[in-house]
Amino acid sequence: MKNYFELIIVLLLCSSISCTAQKKEAHTSTSVTFQFNTDSLLHHVKILSSDAFEGRRTGTTGALKAKDYIVSKLKNLEVKPLVDNYEQKFSFSSRKQDYQGINILGLIEGTDFKDSYFVISAHYDHEGIRNGQIFNGADDDASGVSAMLAFAEYFKKNPPKHSVILAFFDAEELGLQGSRYYVENTIVPLESIKLNMNMDMVSRNDQNELYITGARDNEAFQNAIQNQKASDDFKFIMGHDGKDGKQNWTFSSDHGSFFRKGIPFLYFGVEDHKDYHRPTDDYENIHPEFYKLAVQSILSLFLEIDAMKL
């Protein structure tokens, strides 16, 4: 009799373990359908944050190399140039040094609301080389740049309803210089820009959380964010908007330049991590599964907002 009970207990335990295992399975990223090539997504981060790009500091050969890399991908993905050869050049001074910067601007025409624009942005510059150490900036912000290329890949087959400007900004690290120049010299009328979606540091977080700043006063955006699928592997959190006691990120990256002009923005970024602005912000330290889910979730959110008339 005793053995019989033991057998039942063992059987019950086994079935509950296998059940837990199945539940875990359901939460892994393999159940997500990615709408872009995830190998390419990771590959671009790896290339752009390799030592060959010398930390992509504005005005250096490393930054020019990054610019050429991005332009060649945009051509492959059939993204139209918004300006000649995609390049918007500008100059500025910072700490008594003169710089030449280049924003890279691509255009995807909308199918329904052609004269209304979303600017999707990320910065391709980083900190360069200091004291002989290369600051590769894998998360900051090769991750955002590669995410934009994934968007371009998606738009090639699935054009958006609103027109989209893909803005790869330069000189963010020198005080949001590229985006500031862009909003002053915007190519399309400023009032036709309905939203800036800015991605800066979207590839790693120990809690699988990605913050969205900018939705605090917009109920439609808040609803769209809440509609996105959350799991143990990925979730959006709204905040860092000056209302929740956390550091206010309203001007922490290029979206700040749009906000100054009164343009709504959504900023996507993770909490600072131990490799933030250090030479160890390398490809090996990003979290590939989190990153893929982050980019897919931002794309899903984009599609939901694109379906509204802004």
| Total residues at interface with Zn ion (CB under 5 A) | 3
**Which listed range, 15-23, 68-76, 140-148, 179-187, lies at the site for Zn ion (CB under 5 A)?**
140-148
The Cα 153–Cα 157 span in angstroms is 7
Read off the tokens for 174: 């020198």
Q: Between residues 116 and 121, which has the closer beta carbon with respect to Zn ion?
A: 121
Least separation in angstroms between CB 277 and Zn ion: 9
The reply on whether position 140 binds Zn ion by CB under 5 A is: yes
Least separation in angstroms between CB 307 and Zn ion: 29
Peptide bond before residue 141 is cis, with ω within 30 degrees of 0: yes
* 3-state SS, residue 231: coil
Q: Between residues 139 and 306, which has the closer beta carbon with respect to Zn ion?
A: 139
Least separation in angstroms between CB 251 and Zn ion: 13
Least separation in angstroms between CB 55 and Zn ion: 13
Cβ contact 209:232 at 8 Å: no
The reply on whether position 125 binds Zn ion by CB under 5 A is: no
**Which listed range, 32-40, 56-64, 110-118, 135-143, lies at the site for Zn ion (CB under 5 A)?**
135-143
Q: How far is CA 49 from CA 40, 74, 112, 251, in A?
A: 14, 18, 37, 25
The Cα 56–Cα 174 span in angstroms is 12
Binding mask 198-237 for Zn ion (x = CB under 5 A): --x-------------------------------------
Q: Between residues 150 and 171, which has the closer beta carbon with respect to Zn ion?
A: 171
**Which listed range, 80-88, 196-204, 205-213, 216-224, lies at the site for Zn ion (CB under 5 A)?**
196-204
Least separation in angstroms between CB 28 and Zn ion: 29
**Which listed range, 13-21, 74-82, 195-203, 217-225, lies at the site for Zn ion (CB under 5 A)?**
195-203
Which residues partner with 165 through β-bridges?
107, 119
Q: Between residues 161 and 255, which has the closer beta carbon with respect to Zn ion?
A: 255
Least separation in angstroms between CB 200 and Zn ion: 4
**Which listed range, 82-90, 132-140, 149-157, 275-283, lies at the site for Zn ion (CB under 5 A)?**
132-140
Read off the tokens for 140: 């900051």
Q: Between residues 54 and 200, which has the closer beta carbon with respect to Zn ion?
A: 200
97-102: long-range contacts at Cβ-Cβ below 8 A with a sequence spacing of 24 or more?
99/58, 99/59, 99/171, 99/174, 99/177, 100/58, 100/59, 101/58, 101/59, 101/125, 101/170, 101/171, 101/177, 101/178, 101/181, 102/63, 102/64, 102/67, 102/170
The Cα 281–Cα 267 span in angstroms is 20
The Cα 145–Cα 136 span in angstroms is 13
Least separation in angstroms between CB 196 and Zn ion: 15
Least separation in angstroms between CB 207 and Zn ion: 20
Q: Which value, in Å, is the radius of gyration of the alpha carbons in the chain?
A: 21
The reply on whether position 170 binds Zn ion by CB under 5 A is: no
The reply on whether position 141 binds Zn ion by CB under 5 A is: yes
Run of H or E including 135: strand 133-135
Would you tell me which residues interact with Zn ion (CB under 5 A)? 140-141, 200
